[in-house]
Structure 1
Amino acid sequence: MTIAKITHLPAGSDFRSLFERSAVETGFFLTVEDRFGIERLLHRRGTKNAPNPPLLNGFLRHKLRISRGAPWPAPPELVVAGCHVTYMISGEGTRSGVLSMGPAPAPGRILIASLLGATLVGMRMLQKVPLLRDDGQIETIVVVDVSPAPDHVAA
């Protein structure tokens, strides 16, 4: 076994900022409204129509634990409930829809009460993360664009 000697470590505040920066760049940010909406979905069993509610509930609880608070107002590149998001899943073309906190599916909506929607909420434009599929497969998803929802589509 070889032990490498570290010759230079950043000073205290530089060392902390190195880790904070990496957490910010790779983490998720939830607005107060999204955090409250997810908690309400879980409390009211709004995930009961998902293919695997226990898996989705666990994922949403995990998302609540690991996500940081988003600044107010939310940055325009942040995926929040009610925004129009364009994304790409590995091996597929781009898709888009309005991220919705509602429990019922509707055309053009991506439900947060789904593994796809639960993954997208709190991501930022160009962020790439693993996506757990209902069949157990793990893909990669990247957010291509985020914009306000069109006026005629309710979140």
Structure 2
Amino acid sequence: MTITRIPHLPAGSDFRSLFERSAVGSGFLLTVDDRLGIERLLRHRGTRNSPNPPLLNGLLRHKLRISRGTPEPASPDLVVAGSHVTYMISGEGARSGLLSMNPAPVPGDILVASLLGATLIGMRKLQKVPLLRDDGQIEVVVVLDVRPSPDHAAA
């Protein structure tokens, strides 16, 4: 029997397995606050303003299942809600923003209630993972830098 592989972009459950494989070596870590924040977003329909709420809800639930807990205080290289993240998506330049649990868009924030924010939360500096885009394309996102928000740094 001959098996022929046809190159294609992963879709649906294929994306999930690709996401899990990228997490195996480095994994995702969630603080207790981040886990509770994600659960709150899901419970109170905080993803309803996203372009594809069912897809985002599935990604967030999957992230909760595959992520391990992290000791507190979180490592400074871990992307947590409230941290300022610099990241790069394949084929684009570096960008940055404040990772936020807010369900409504705020200028300069990266919402956990978005595919990008849901992917970034729990990553560490220099970690690369697949990023599912709203249009169905799959890119790669890498975290370049993580810093506490200016509010947290002053405290």
The total of aligned residue pairs comes to 132
Provide the rounded CA distance (Å) in 2 between the counterparts of 1:61 and 1:110.
18
In structure 1, the partner of 2:95 is 95
Aligned to 2:51: 51
1:111 partner letter: L
Tell me the residue number matched to 1:72. 72
Distance of aligned partners of 1:23 and 1:110 in 2 relative to their CA distance in 1, 3 Å threshold: closer
SS at match of 2:151: coil
Shift in Å, 1:151: 2.3
Q: The residue matched to 2:104 in structure 1 has which SS? A: coil
For the pair shown, which has the larger CA radius of gyration, 1 or 2?
Answer: 1
1:24 Cα offset (Å): 6.6
Task: Give the drift of 1:71.
Answer: 1.4
Is 2:33 the counterpart of 1:33?
yes
Secondary structure of the residue aligned to 1:71 is: coil
Aligned residue type for 1:60 = L
User: So what's the TM-score if we normalise by structure 2?
Assistant: 0.82
For 1:23 and 1:134, the matched residues in 2 are separated by: 21
Write the letter of the residue equivalent to 1:84.
Answer: H
Deviation at 1:72, TM superposition (A): 1.1
RMSD: 1.7
Deviations 1:62-119 (CA, angstroms, capped at 9, x unpaired): 0000000011110000000000000000000000000000001011100000000000
TM-score, structure 1 normalization: 0.82
Query: In 2, distance between residues paired with 1:111 and 1:132?
Result: 15
Show structure 2 runs of 5+ residues with no match: 1-21
Partner of 2:111: 111
How far did 1:150 drift? 1.5
Aligned equivalents of 2:75, 2:26: Cα separation in 1: 16
Alpha-carbon distance between aligned partners in 1 of 2:129 and 2:49, rounded to the nearest angstrom: 25
> What amino acid is the match of 2:135?
D
Name segments (4+ residues, structure 1) moved above 3 Å.
Answer: 22-25
Per-residue CA distance 1:21-55 (angstroms, 9 max, x = gap): x9674210000000000000000000000000000
| Alignment match, 1:86 | 86
Change (3 A) 1:76 1:51: same
8 Å CA contact 2:29, 2:67 repeated in 1? yes
- In structure 2, what is the Cα distance between the partners aligned to 1:126 and 1:134? 24
Unaligned runs of at least 5 residues, structure 1: 1-21
